[in-house]
Amino acid sequence: MNKLYYALSPQYIARQTLLRNNLNSKVKIFDYLIDKGYTYLDEGRHRVCFLSPNKNWVVKLARDFSGACANASERYAYSKKESRNILARCKLLNSDILVMEYVEYIEYSELPSWAGNIDCYQVGRNRKGEIVAYDYGG
């Protein structure tokens, strides 16, 4: 990759933010995921997300305590039987790392009525074709 492009890329900026905040253990996880072929997807206020090499899973790496709380909240919500049919499958590896099934973007016209209860309508279609929420950590 061109060094100048990398220096300006969102992936580089996300990594530098972790370094600047003295989060060396998270930088090691970040680097490990990139080395293993994971693709940097995006980041929010409290988490950085990566797509697995097989494109089936998303890894949500908490950047701070609020990110760890969001990870725990998503796992807790998914653990409730009544929520499982509308939430993306996920597994909490530790407070910093949540692994969630990959969900494809869908058009606004395809959204079910319950999607209005999800922040910013963050729902999409999983591999089974089901419409599920993918960012519900509150």
Contact 64, 40 (CB under 8 A): no
Tell me the average pLDDT across 57-82: 91
Q: With b meaning 16 or more CB within 10 Å and e meaning fewer, what string describes 112-124?
A: eeebeebeeeebb
Q: Does the 3-133 domain belong in CATH 3.30.200.20?
A: yes
Question: pLDDT tens digits, residue range 42-52?
Answer: 888 889 999 99
pTM above 0.85, yes or no: no
43: nearest Cα among 15, 65, 20, 71: 15
Which H/E stretch holds residue 17? helix 10-20
* Beta bridge pairs of residue 57: 101
The helix, strand and coil proportions of the chain, stated in percent and rounded to the nearest 5, come to 40, 25, 35
Token pair of 8 as six digits:
């300006």
Question: pLDDT tens digits, residue range 13-65?
Answer: 666 666 666 567 788 888 889 889 999 998 888 899 999 999 999 999 998 88
Please give the pLDDT value at position 89: 95
Q: Phi first, then psi: what are they for 4, rounded to 5°? A: -65, -45
Question: pLDDT tens digits, residue range 88-138?
Answer: 999 999 888 999 999 999 999 999 999 998 888 999 999 999 999 998 866
Instruction: Tell me the C-alpha distance between 122 and 108, whole Å.
Output: 10
For the sheet containing 104-105, what is the strand order? 104-105, 123-125, 131-133
